[in-house]
Amino acid sequence: MINTGKLAGKTVFVTGASRGIGKAIALKVAKDGANVVVAAKTAEPHPKLPGTIYTACEEIEKAGGKGLPCIVDVRDEKAVQSAVDEAVKKFGGIDILINNASAISLTGTAETEMKRYDLMHSVNTRGTFLVSKTCLPHLKKSSHAHILNLSPPLSMNPIWFKDHVAYTMAKYGMSMCVLGMHEEFKPFNIAVNALWPKTVVSTAAVIMLKGRGSHDFSRTVDIMGDSAYAILTQDPKTCTGNFFVDEDVLRKAGVTDLKQYACNPDNADKLAPDYFLDDNIPAIFGAEAKKAAPTGQIAEVFKKIDGILSPETVSKTQAIFAFNVSGEEEGKWFLDLKNGGGLCGHGDPPAAPDVTLTMDTKNFLGLFSGKMKPTTAYMMGKLKIQGNLQQAMKLEKLMKKLEDK
């Protein structure tokens, strides 16, 4: 993504810009000759995380921009107001706001301490709202006003909530700001968008969470810097209200070589998919399901099902099925014909099932071999169905495909 100079002289206020994705965006716009306000907490070197607001500004100056270091905790209303006032005093206004600051804890309900819950909601949701509100009077005066939140597309799939509901709510709060502010600020020609990575991006925070091995299967922060730049250089009157994904943004901008962003080019085709994207569900949870899958006749049936899954089947079915099998090959299985290109495997489904079917091993194999019809099995009590009967009947078409195969 080549710099065009379109952001020369623009003032960009970036929260959490002392390191990681925030700094990558700051450096990218700095190459255009932009003024960058580095609004972050780290004034003194952190023992585990590199970078301060001052070292970030040094890099911004070297890249061709002008930097303003501001000690800001986005939870502190006075600190935010002070930084905004200082930015306006030095640069004359604010044109672009990047809401990047975020707190994370991938913990379940019982394991999430309330102070950690409060931190995530105060930084992610409240912080985004507060900084946007404080910058708003100055963004209204800009001829090229953008707000870009580093947050995911909104999805009500329970799979994104079940393991870390507190974090998901806090992160989705940032996305809800996009949803509402886009409409609210449209009359002022202020673009409001979100940006999220398709694959895991290697930052110090990610390495702390996932370990150093994650770096080799991640992309560099440059992919977010480049994709943010592609968004921010567009006309705010027409480019607003979008939940962008980095890959899609870059491809639309004409970038064809995504391998350049891989931390380890040898793993460019093995990158770890990021959370919160429904299209990534099979890649994330499918691998887990296949690892856990036992051997046996039922396992072979699901291998065949996996081979005929397609986006077309998913669009026509729109249901998640759970199978509780008793007898010789007792176990739980699932078939997701609601998300992405479809997914099946051993264990519980990744989201709440629309239909749960209970039967023994013999009857399961009879149904999927064509020796027994679902309606007959149900009427004879050999098949118990809990949930939507009409959706359950859609399985007959899938069974017919297996017979033909």
| pLDDT tens digits, one per residue of 133-164 | 999 999 999 999 999 999 999 998 888 999 99
Confidence at residue 293, expressed as pLDDT on a 0 to 100 scale: 54
Residue 343 three-state SS: strand
pLDDT attached to residue 253: 94
| Dihedrals phi, psi of 102, to nearest 5 degrees | -155, 150
Q: Report the alpha-carbon distance of residue 149 to residue 157 in Å, rounded.
A: 21
Torsion (CA) 383, 384, 390, 396 in degrees, nearest 10: -20
Specify burial of residue 345 (Cβ count, 10 A radius: 0-12, 13-18, 19+). Answer: buried
CA-to-CA separations, 30 to 62, 94, 198, 200, in angstroms, rounded: 9, 15, 25, 25
The token pair that represents 336 in the structure block = 């997701």
Q: Please, is 171 exposed, middle or buried when counting C-beta atoms within 10 Å of its C-beta (0-12, 13-18, 19+)?
A: buried
DSSP state for residue 108 in the 8-state scheme: -
Q: Are 51 and 248 in contact (CB under 8 A)?
A: no
CA distance 311 to 183: 32
List of E strands, 274-353: 319-326, 331-337, 343-346
Order the strands of the 331-337 sheet from edge to edge.
343-346, 331-337, 319-326, 355-360, 384-387
Whether 336 and 350 have beta carbons less than 8 Å apart is answered as: yes
Assign 205 to helix, strand or coil.
helix
- Just list the catalytic residues: 167
Residue type, 173: G
Please report which helix (H) or strand (E) contains residue 182, including its range.
Answer: helix 165-185
User: What does the mean pLDDT of the chain come to?
Assistant: 90
The predicted pLDDT at position 404 comes to: 57
Nearest to 168 by CA among 149, 152, 150: 152
The predicted pLDDT at position 287 comes to 57
Length reported for the chain: 405
What domains, with CATH codes, occur in the chain?
A: 11-274 (3.40.50.720), 279-404 (3.30.1050.10)
Cβ(21)–Cβ(100) below 8 Å: yes
What integer pLDDT is reported at residue 225 of this predicted model? 97
CA atoms of 191 and 16, how far apart (whole Å) = 21
User: What stretches in the chain show pLDDT beneath 50?
Assistant: none
What is the pLDDT at residue 313?
81
Give ∠ CA 350-354-358 in degrees, rounded to 5.
90
C-alpha separations of 142 from 1, 95, 242 in Å: 25, 5, 20
Q: Are 401 and 308 in contact (CB under 8 A)?
A: yes
pLDDT at 46: 72
User: What are the phi and psi torsion angles at 43 (to 5°)?
Assistant: -95, -30
- The residue written with tokens 């910058």 in the block is 135
Q: What is the pLDDT of residues 246-259, one digit of tens each?
A: 999 999 999 989 99
Within 10 angstroms of residue 37's Cβ, the number of other Cβ atoms is 33
Contact 171, 161 (CB under 8 A): no
Task: Please choose, from the candidates 325, 309, 318, the residue with its C-alpha nearest in 3D space to the C-alpha of residue 391.
Answer: 318
The confidence score (pLDDT) of residue 212 equals 56
For 110, half-sphere exposure in the C-beta direction (CA atoms, 13 angstrom radius) is: 0
Residues whose CB is less than 8 angstroms from the CB of residue 264 and which lie 6 or more positions away in sequence, other chains included: 215, 216, 217
Q: How confident is the model at residue 377, as a pLDDT?
A: 82
**Residue 108 confidence (pLDDT):** 94
pLDDT at 403: 59
Which tokens hold the place of 364? 């399961």
